[in-house]
Structures are given as C-alpha cells and as structure tokens.
Amino acid sequence: MARTNLGEFEETILLMVAILDGEGYGVTISQALEEHTGRVVTFGTVHNTLIRLEEKGFVRSELGGATNERGGRRKRMFQITAYGSRTLREAQQLREELWRLVPPNALKLGGI
Amino acid sequence: MTPKAPTPLRPVGPRWAKRLLRWLHPEGTLEEVEGDLDELYAYWHHRSGKTQATLRYLLNVVSVLPPFVRRRKRKEEYLPTHNLTTAMIRNYFKIAFRNLIHSRAFSLINIFGLTLGITCSLLVFLVIYHETSYDKYHKNADRIYRVETVNNTDADAHPGTYTELGDVLKDAPEFETVVPVWNEGGRGLSIPATGDFFKERIFFVDPDIFQLLDYQWIAGDARSALSQPGQVVLTESYAKKFFGTTNALGKTIHYDNKQDLQVAGVLKDYPLNTNFPFDVLVSLATLKRVNSDYDSHGWTGFGDNYQIYTLLKPGFRPGQLEKRFHDIQVKYQQDPKTVENQRFILNPLSEIHYAYNLSGRQANARLLDILAVIGAFVLLIACINFINLTTAQALKRAKAIGIRKAVGSSRLSLIYQFLTEAGLVTFLATVTSVLLAGIVLPSIAGMMGLPLKAEDLFTWQTGAFLLGLMGLATLLAGVYPAFRLSGMSSLWALKSNRLPQGERSISLRKGLVVLQFTVSMVLVSCALLVNRQLSFFQNADIGFNKNAIITVGLPENNPEKLHLFRTQLMESSQIKDLTYSFNSASAESNWMQGIQYRENADIREVKTQMKMGDSHFLDTYGIQLLAGENLRDTDTLSASSKVLANEVFLQRAGISSPEAAIGQKVYFGDGSQFATIAGVVKNFHVNSLHQKIDPTLIQVVPRHFYQAGIKLKSEKPTTETIHTALALIEKSWKKTFPNQVFEYKFLDDTLAQAYQNETRTAQLIETSTLIAILIACLGLFGLATFAAEQRTKEIGVRKVLGASVTSIIALLTRDFLKLVFLAGLLASPIAWYAMSQWLQSFEFKIEISGWIFTLTILLMAGIALLTVSYQAIKAALMNPVKSLRSE
C-alpha cells in the first residue's frame, strides 16, 4: 500500500476544494469548512494548508479576476488536480476496506 | 448585540492591523490574503457584529504573519511570463515589421548588406560542396585507390605507373579488383555508316572497371562488354553524337583508320562530379593492335597515361601494403638503385580530385580554403554592419524600449523582440540572396570553371546550409543588440537620449568599423598584389616569343606528310616559319630524362628536359643561339646525333662557357648512346613561371614530333590576317591529313592557361574585395547618417556661432578617417604576411613593396571620405534655424 502524504486536515481541506468545484478560495473554503464540519480554524491554517496542498501537487491555483468587493484585489482560486482526486479516492477506498475488516461486534460497547 | 444591517460602505478591519499585515506578510501572497481577510471581515461583521469581527480579524491576521504563515515558494510567486505564445510571437513580428518600415533606409542598408554577405557564403558553399562531392557516389568509394609511383629523391608522386604492375597486382591477395586505364588523348574516330569523323579522348580499360565504379547500363552487359579486342562502350550522349541514337549496340566505329570497334554497350551518362569522365571506353586488349609502342610488360619507363585503379579487399588499409609493394619491386624492377629510388603508394579516391586526375580539372584545396575564409569574412562584415546599425538606431528607439521596460516587459521578451527583428531581416536577405545567387551563378561557375547550375541552389543540402546560415547570421547580428539594448536601464532610456551610457557602445562600434575596414583593406592589398603577380607573369621575359604562334596537334608524323604540309604552308606570305616538335617551347607536359656528362672520370648526372624539335624550332619560337650552330634536320638520333643545350644545363654539368660546351658529349640513360653539343641557346622558360628553368636539350627526333608550331608573319596579327592564315592552314591540313579533325590553339592562350589558378584567385579576390568594400561603406554610410542626425543640434549651434561649412564637414569626417587609418595600420602587416605566404609557391615572383599598402590606405580613405561626405555636407549645409527650432 502506497503511503499517501495526506494528513487528516489536509484531506478535509482537499475535500472542500473538491466540493466547491472551481469556486474554492480562501474565503469560501473557510466558510465551507465551518459550515460542513463545524470546525473553526484561523485563516492562517487554511491558507498554509492550501499552500502545502499545492506544493504536494494535490491542487493547482491561479489568480482569478479582481472584484470590487475585495477592493480590487485578486482571488487565488483553487482546483483539485487529477493526482489530488486520485489520492482522495484512494483514501476513501482504503477506509472502506478497513471498515469491512472490522468484525461486526468489535465496535459495540462492551456488555450492552 | 444585534447584527447590524450591512452598510453600503463595506466594513473594513482596523487599519493598523492591515498595515501590520502589509508590512509582515510575505509579498507573494499578500494580495490574495488581504482580499480574503477583507471578505471574511465583511462576512463576520455581517454575522456577528463589529467587535466579534474585529477580534477574529486580528486573530486571523496574526495567523498569517510570520512565523505562522507558510511562504509560497518563489517559483509560484509569479505566473511564469510566457514570451513565446503565438500571440506574443505575432506581436514580435508585427513590431518588427513596423520598425523595419519605420526606418526604411536603415532596413534597406541592412538587408542589402546581409544579402551580399549571404550570397557570398552561399556561392562559396556551392563551390566547396561541389568540389568535395567528387566520386562520393560510388558504392565502394572508400576502398578505391590509385597506385602511384613516388620518386623518393624529390617526393614527387606520379599518377602513372609501369604497365606490368597491373597484372602483378591481380595476383596479390589484398586486391579485389585491379583496373588498368590507358588514356589516349585525341584519337580520330570515324563512323563508316555516315562518313562523319571525330577526334576524341579514348580510354582503354578492362571490363573490371564496371566492378570498380558504378555505372548504369542502357544496353549491353557489364560482364561481356570490353572482354574481347575490338569492343567499345559509349555513354548515352556519345552514342547519340556518333549514331544519332542510343540504340547503337553492334554498330561499328573506325579507330584511327586502323581498327574496327564494335559497340558492345551503352552507359547512362556519368554525373558531372566525377574524376572519370569516360565517354569512349575501348577494351584494353585492343590497345596492342592500335598502338605498336604499347608494351604490356613494361618495367623500364612509365607515363601518366597508364594508371592503375584498384579496389582493396575489405579490411585492408593502404599502409599495410608497403611490404607487398617492396617485394614486387625487388622481384620485377631488380635494379637495386631503382628499388631504392622509387616506391608505390595507394592514393585514396577521395584525394584524386585535388591532384592530377583524368577529368582535366582539379580542385585547388588552397583556393577552397581561401574561398571559405573570404566567404566567412564577407558574412562577418555584413553582420557587423547589422550590429552597428542596429545599436546606433536603438538610441532612437531607447524611449520605446524604456517604456516597455517600465511597464514591466521582461528582458526576455525584449530579447525575443530584437532577435525577431534580426531574424526577419536575415530571412528577407536570404530570400533575396537565393535570387541573386541564381542570377550570378552562371558567371561564377564560368570564372571557376565549374559545372554548377541553378538547380544546385535547390537541393536539400543547400537548404540545410541556408537554414544554418540564417540561424548563424541572426545570432551573429542579433544577439549583441538584443542583450545590449534590452539591458539598458529604463531610467536612462526614458530620461534623455544624450548618450551618457552610449559611450561604451560607441567605442565598440568604432572597433567593429575598424575590423570591417581591416578586412576590406587586407582584401584590397591582396587583390593589388595578386594582380601585380599576374601581370608579372603575363609580361615576364620568358626567353622566347609566344606571340602570333598557332599550334596544331599532329595525328601522325610520317615524314612525307610533314614535308607536304610544310611546303604547302611555306608558300603563303602569311606564314613566317613552321616547326615540328614534341611540344612547344614551354608546355605543361614535359619529357624528363637523366643525362650524363662526363668530364674525364667525373660523371655528372643531370635530370634534363628533352625538347624534340626540328631545325626551325629556334627560329619559330625566337630562341636565341649563344654559341655554336643550329641543328639540321639530318641530325637525327644516331651515332652522330647532335643537340643544343641551354645555359642551365651547362651550369649543372659544370661547363664554364657556351664556347667551351661546343663539341662536348652527353650520354643518354645507361650511357651507351651519346650526342654532341652543337650549340648553346639562351635560357628560356620551358615551364610556367611557377617552376625553375630545367636543364634542357633540344634534339631532332622526327618520330616524336606531335605538334606543329606555326609562326605568322606579322607580330601583332589582326583578326583578318589570323582568319586568312587559319583558313590556309586548315586547307593544307585537309589535303595532308584527310579524315582528321583540325584543331588549333594560340600559344599565348595556352601559356596563359598555366596561370588559370592565379587568374581565378585574382578574380575571386577582386570580386569579394568589391563586395567587402561595398558592405563596409554601406555600414559607414549608415553610421555617418546616424552621427549627423545625433549632432544636428550641435551643428546648428556651431553654425549660428559662425563655424564654416568646411570645418563642420571636417568635424564629421575626421572621426571616420581616423578609424580607416587605424584599420590600414592593422591590415598592412596581415596582408603582407598572407601575400608572402602565397608568393612562396612561385619560383619567379614580384617583390612586395610598401607603396601597395600606402595606396590601399589612401584608396580606402578616399572611398570612406566619399561615403561619409554626403551626409557630412548635407548636415553642414542644413539651415540652423531648422535644426534648432524643433525640440
């Protein structure tokens, strides 16, 4: 089994990028994270994770058009790469396989 | 706190936090992070009010400050600028075209100069490519060699060899095929069917030749053709020439009225680049029947007309055969002295084009080198022009470049821009070059004596060369301006054009002008010197009179016929004298023989040139008799044989004076035969002026008379007298030698042929000199234009303050003249060295005198002055009101 270099938080952020499907940038990703997982993290965490994900080749980004609401500043839009989506899929598959291996009773609380 | 309704003005976080962010956050991601945070602030503000929003904002700002923030790697800080997208490339071309059209004069000078340079290189390429392509197409070319005979004493290699060597080599295991070739120049062929007769060069060969060289057959068979006596193989065009059809198999040709030849095969014409221009091939077995002198087992002497070509078995190198050849010499030559003095070598096919070969044309490797150097020089000068004009011009474009840089154009895109411009100019120049080369190719081919045709311009090799050349010229001409100009600081470029930074480029430009003129001047002095050497050749006292002499080759030397021919001609008032001889007083092919002079016991061997001539030889050629008496026609080779010797012979033999020589005996070859010196003649040049005068003996040997020399009455005959004389000679010829083709030559033309190489060199250097001067002057003209433009204001001010027109012209031309004189100082020693090297190959040569260099410098200074003065005068005469008004 090839070890993918994807941490738990990274995976979540990557999933957000996938969910937003081309609409993902710092703001939307932070909001989606909060909305779907209830996790509130600093913007720096999201920002750093996105940079790391890009360094690892899971996402690619480009500076999008400037909008007025941002005072003319451009957004960096993120998109999942083929490699990123494969890695996500593999992580999911691995989990499903592992779930299948769990004996039916193992997760029941003892005695109940 | 209830959330506020979003205000129309977008809520923003505290300013100081923002300033902190701007100050500390890494530059590369500042824009996006600032934007994102702003957006988030507005969102928080909307959801939970100002205080919450501000708090979260502060927290989040901190989270993107160092050390918490991750830096985006440098590579991704910016998007890579794409300078080579189609849009950009289209833009480069668009701007290049605009610039080209905008400065029309400069563009034309550039294109014209480069066209000349590229045309020169292209022509040089065609010549060199042709000359080095000889016989490369044969399947076994790398294994084909010619057996040559080397004289160990003077290291002269002779292409001919002994007739028996062919048979001997056939038995040696190293040789796959051995092909002897006997070359018989100018034999009479007649076609019985039509009665036509021709004079052709005949090659006697074995059918093995078809194993050696690649031929394509139209009719006949490589195996059976030429295997029997009396067989002949013709090329397609010769079959047509003789019979009017290529379907000539089995037809008959009459050889020299002696032998019938049956056409046994017809070959496709050979390509032009071959050293084996065989049109009429006769089976070697026929040779004995038509030439009674031919001895197929000869070991006593050899001539260039018998050559042996071989195909070495794979894996053998010529060097390995030394022992084999030595054994053959010991076994067959026997005489230990000859074995010691001679050896055989194998000369590869690839070398044969550069020395004696059967095509009658040989490439001069040195001339090819000179050509390549000249071609490179001319191209270099043209590229220098480009560099100079472009950089000069760029000062005008500095503003445009500055603005481009200021708005963020990358240096690379500027470099691409300049290279595109250079490429465009080069491309236009190349296209024009091909046209120009097509136009001048026939005359160049004629000048070089090469069979080059316009089709040679359109081979893939030429295409590849041109592509390479275009690339090279673009780089040569474009790289310097590209880097220099793109590297200008935009600040300087925008501020003013007052050339503070231009200083460096100006001195470089000066250096390049000096280089150009140095090259031109080297060429000019060389051209002057080569011409002087040539006119020295033409006007040198060669010891005899070559004017008004017509030479005619004799088909046979039957004494009655010769007598008949003479009596008929001597009746005419047009003809002064007539001599029969082996060759003329000075000839390319000579007869050398070892002669012994014995003074008591002291035997002196003198390698002597034999001139076989009759009693009229001296009178016809105007050779002076110093002592003794002329030969008589009865002094034929016998016990009482008499000879005339020249002064060099006396000197070598150690005879003190002409008078002392009379009556002395000289011995031929092995010493059994001798002749008495009857007279001494003044030295005359028996060879071309490349060589020393050989010791020479003149002797009457009627069976070696192959040529008639006919001297006309008038020294400077008019076309009319020549015409009547020729008609008369032809008439007598037809009467004496029916069915033989009449061919004549003028002796002075024949002798001039000996200097063909020098004439060609001279013509080439002259042509390239003209081109080099032209290009260099174009460059100068461009620079002068530029200088005049740059100094328009200065000139205006000077004029207003009372400067005279002359002083202004002087001001503008002085700088350029200085460069030309500097170039002259550099060029003189180079030209002197090159020329003294060249002159070393001549035995008789001119002295290199200093005035040639002075003349060159003055000449070039004059030309430069003329070039510059147009602009200078124009600038000087300009109304200062005009030049000072605009700003």
SS3 sequence of B171-240? HCCCEEEEEEEEEEEEEEEECCCCCCEEEEEEEEECCCHHHHCCCCEEEECCCCCCCCCCEEEEEHHHHH
| A62 contacts in chain B (CB < 8 Å) | 79
Residue contact B32–A45, C-beta within 8 A:
no
Residue contact A52–B70, C-beta within 8 A:
yes
The verdict on B64 touching A (C-beta cutoff 8 Å) is yes
DSSP at B613 = B
| pLDDT score, position B500 | 45
Strand partners, B307: B181
List the B549-553 sheet strands across, edge first: B575-581, B707-712, B549-553, B744-746
The verdict on B168 touching A (C-beta cutoff 8 Å) is no
Chain B nearest-CA distance from A52, in A, is 8
pLDDT digits (tens, 9 = 90+) for B604-620: 878 788 888 898 999 99
The verdict on B33 touching A (C-beta cutoff 8 Å) is yes
Chain A nearest-CA distance from B77, in A, is 11
| pLDDT score, position B639 | 61
The verdict on A51 touching B (C-beta cutoff 8 Å) is yes
Predicted confidence band of residue A1 (pLDDT cuts 50, 70, 90): very low
Q: How many CA atoms lie within 13 A of A29 on its CB side?
A: 34
Separation of CA B137 from chain center: 22
* Among the partner residues B39, B63, B79, nearest to A27 by beta-carbon distance: B39
CA distance B677 to B665: 6
Predicted confidence band of residue A17 (pLDDT cuts 50, 70, 90): very high
| A31 contacts in chain B (CB < 8 Å) | 43
| pLDDT score, position B490 | 66
* Among the partner residues B32, B64, B68, nearest to A74 by beta-carbon distance: B32
* Among the partner residues A48, A52, A73, nearest to B31 by beta-carbon distance: A73
Q: What percent of chain B has pLDDT over 70?
A: 94
DSSP string, B740-776: S---EEEHHHHHHHTTHHHHHHHHHHHHHHHHHHHHH
Q: Residue range B308-312: average pLDDT?
A: 91
Selected residue with higher pLDDT from B355 and B745: B745
Residue contact B38–A74, C-beta within 8 A:
no
The verdict on A82 touching B (C-beta cutoff 8 Å) is no
Q: Please count the residue pairs, one from chain A and one from chain B, whose beta carbons lie less than 8 angstroms apart.
A: 78
| A75 contacts in chain B (CB < 8 Å) | 32, 35-36
Predicted confidence band of residue B468 (pLDDT cuts 50, 70, 90): very high
3-state secondary structure of B857: helix
Chain A nearest-CA distance from B14, in A, is 15
Q: How far is CA B46 from CA B14, B188, B695, B734, B747, in A?
A: 16, 117, 120, 125, 114
| A42 contacts in chain B (CB < 8 Å) | 59-60, 62-63
Predicted confidence band of residue B501 (pLDDT cuts 50, 70, 90): very low
* Among the partner residues A45, A73, A75, nearest to B63 by beta-carbon distance: A45
User: What is the number of residues in chain A?
Assistant: 112
Q: Count other C-beta atoms under 10 Å from residue B302's C-beta.
A: 18
Q: Residue range B381-388: average pLDDT?
A: 82
Residue contact A42–B38, C-beta within 8 A:
no
Domains of chain A (ranges, CATH numbers): 8-101 (1.10.10.10)
| pLDDT score, position A2 | 47
The verdict on B36 touching A (C-beta cutoff 8 Å) is yes
Least confident of A106-110, B121-125, B322-326: A106-110
Residue B321 pLDDT exceeds 80: yes
* The model's pTM: 0.69
pLDDT digits (tens, 9 = 90+) for B10-66: 777 888 888 888 888 888 788 888 888 888 888 888 888 888 889 989 998 988 888
Chain A nearest-CA distance from B92, in A, is 26
| B70 contacts in chain A (CB < 8 Å) | 47-48, 51-52
The verdict on A42 touching B (C-beta cutoff 8 Å) is yes
pLDDT digits (tens, 9 = 90+) for B574-604: 888 999 988 888 877 677 777 888 877 777 8
Residue contact B42–A73, C-beta within 8 A:
no
The verdict on B42 touching A (C-beta cutoff 8 Å) is yes
- ipTM higher than the 0.85 cut: yes
**B25 → chain A, closest CA residue:** A44
Predicted confidence band of residue B5 (pLDDT cuts 50, 70, 90): very low
Predicted confidence band of residue B435 (pLDDT cuts 50, 70, 90): very high
CA distance A43 to A51: 12
Residue contact B32–A63, C-beta within 8 A:
yes
Predicted confidence band of residue B371 (pLDDT cuts 50, 70, 90): confident
Q: Residue range B352-359: average pLDDT?
A: 82
| pLDDT score, position B776 | 81
pLDDT digits (tens, 9 = 90+) for B843-884: 888 888 888 888 888 988 888 888 888 888 888 887 878 777
Residue contact A73–B35, C-beta within 8 A:
yes
Residue contact B72–A51, C-beta within 8 A:
yes
The verdict on B47 touching A (C-beta cutoff 8 Å) is no
Residue B754 pLDDT exceeds 60: yes
pLDDT digits (tens, 9 = 90+) for B755-772: 877 888 788 778 888 888
* Among the partner residues B31, B63, B72, nearest to A43 by beta-carbon distance: B63
Chain A nearest-CA distance from B46, in A, is 13
Residue type, B623: I
Q: Which of A70, A74, A75 to mutate to test the interface with B (most CBs of B within 10 A)?
A: A70
The verdict on B82 touching A (C-beta cutoff 8 Å) is no
| pLDDT score, position A98 | 92
* Among the partner residues A52, A62, A74, nearest to B31 by beta-carbon distance: A74
Selected residue with higher pLDDT from B636 and B684: B684
| pLDDT score, position A78 | 92
pLDDT digits (tens, 9 = 90+) for A29-87: 999 998 888 888 899 999 999 999 988 889 998 887 666 667 778 888 999 999 999 99
**B55 → chain A, closest CA residue:** A42
Residue B7 pLDDT exceeds 70: no
Residue A112 pLDDT exceeds 80: no
pLDDT digits (tens, 9 = 90+) for B225-269: 888 888 899 999 999 989 888 888 888 898 887 888 889 899 999
Chain B nearest-CA distance from A60, in A, is 11
Residue contact B64–A73, C-beta within 8 A:
no
Chain A nearest-CA distance from B54, in A, is 13
| pLDDT score, position B6 | 46
pLDDT digits (tens, 9 = 90+) for B258-298: 888 889 899 999 888 888 888 999 998 888 888 777 777 77
* Among the partner residues A43, A54, A63, nearest to B36 by beta-carbon distance: A43
| A70 contacts in chain B (CB < 8 Å) | 35-36, 38-39
| pLDDT score, position B36 | 87
3-state secondary structure of B476: helix
| pLDDT score, position B467 | 93
The verdict on A21 touching B (C-beta cutoff 8 Å) is no
Predicted confidence band of residue B84 (pLDDT cuts 50, 70, 90): confident
Q: How far is CA B466 from CA B383, B583, B782, in A?
A: 15, 48, 27
Residue B794 pLDDT exceeds 70: yes
| pLDDT score, position A96 | 92
| pLDDT score, position B4 | 45
* Among the partner residues A25, A43, A55, nearest to B73 by beta-carbon distance: A55
CA distance B145 to B311: 6
* Among the partner residues A44, A54, A74, nearest to B63 by beta-carbon distance: A44
Q: Count other C-beta atoms under 10 Å from residue B619's C-beta.
A: 15
CA distance B772 to B782: 15
User: Exposure of B572 by Cβ count < 10 A (0-12 exposed, 13-18 middle, 19+ buried)?
Assistant: middle
CA distance A105 to B250: 110
**B42 → chain A, closest CA residue:** A69
Residue with tokens 């010493």: B671
Residue B503 pLDDT exceeds 70: no
